[in-house]
Structure 1
Amino acid sequence: MKIIGVAACTVGIAHTYIAQEKLENAGKKAGHEISIETQGTIGTENELSAKQIQEADIVILAADVKVSGRDRFEGKRVIQVPTEVAVKSPNKLIKKVEEVMAQKQ
């Protein structure tokens, strides 16, 4: 499965990058292709390309603030959670993504 997402916390420093790392590690461990963009105090990093967005099966928004460019994900299945969920339970979140996608089929 191809998973993309955005991590963004209120301060835009620690939780943003921890959420990104934990989600990418959990997704890869579960055998998925995963890319997480970060939106923080220094701007957007690892920006998702139009191709990545088009090919994605599902989008994870691990955010405590408004995600800029959310309209890019129009028509995609989106799961939104606080960054705390991505930081504390990334494996459970990936399992939830798998369940949501299984129901879709």
Structure 2
Amino acid sequence: MKLVAVVACTSGIAHTYIAREKLINAAEKRGHSIKVETQGTIGVEGKLTKKDIEEADLVIMATDIQTTGNERFEGKRKIKVATNIAVKAAGQLIEKIEKEI
């Protein structure tokens, strides 16, 4: 399965990057590809391309704040969770996604 994600916490620092790493590790451990865009205090990093989004089976929005560019995901299957879910239970989140798709 191909996944993309946007991650952003309220402070834009620690949880944003921890959540990114946890999602990457959990997805890859289960044999999925994932590309994660962070929107933090230093701006957007790992910006998702149009091709990334088009090829994705699902978009994970692990955000605690309003993020920019969400119109890019119109018509895509999405799941929205708080960043702490991605930090504490990324594996279970990926399992839930597998069951839903």
Fold-level similarity (TM above 0.5): yes
Residue in structure 2 matched with residue 25 of structure 1 by the alignment: 25
Residue in structure 2 matched with residue 81 of structure 1 by the alignment: 81
What's the offset of the Cα at 1:97?
A: 0.8
Residue in structure 1 matched with residue 71 of structure 2 by the alignment: 71
Runs of 4+ in 1 over 6 A off after TM superposition: none
What's the offset of the Cα at 1:100?
A: 1.2
Residue in structure 2 matched with residue 45 of structure 1 by the alignment: 45
Per the normalisation by structure 2, the TM-score is 0.99
* 2:22 alignment partner AA: K
Give the gaps of 5 or more residues in structure 1: none
What's the offset of the Cα at 1:84?
A: 0.3
What's the offset of the Cα at 1:23?
A: 0.1
Aligned residue for 1:16, secondary structure, equals: helix
Aligned residue for 1:19, secondary structure, equals: helix
**Identity of aligned pairs, percent?**
57
Give the gaps of 5 or more residues in structure 2: none
Aligned residue for 1:75, secondary structure, equals: coil
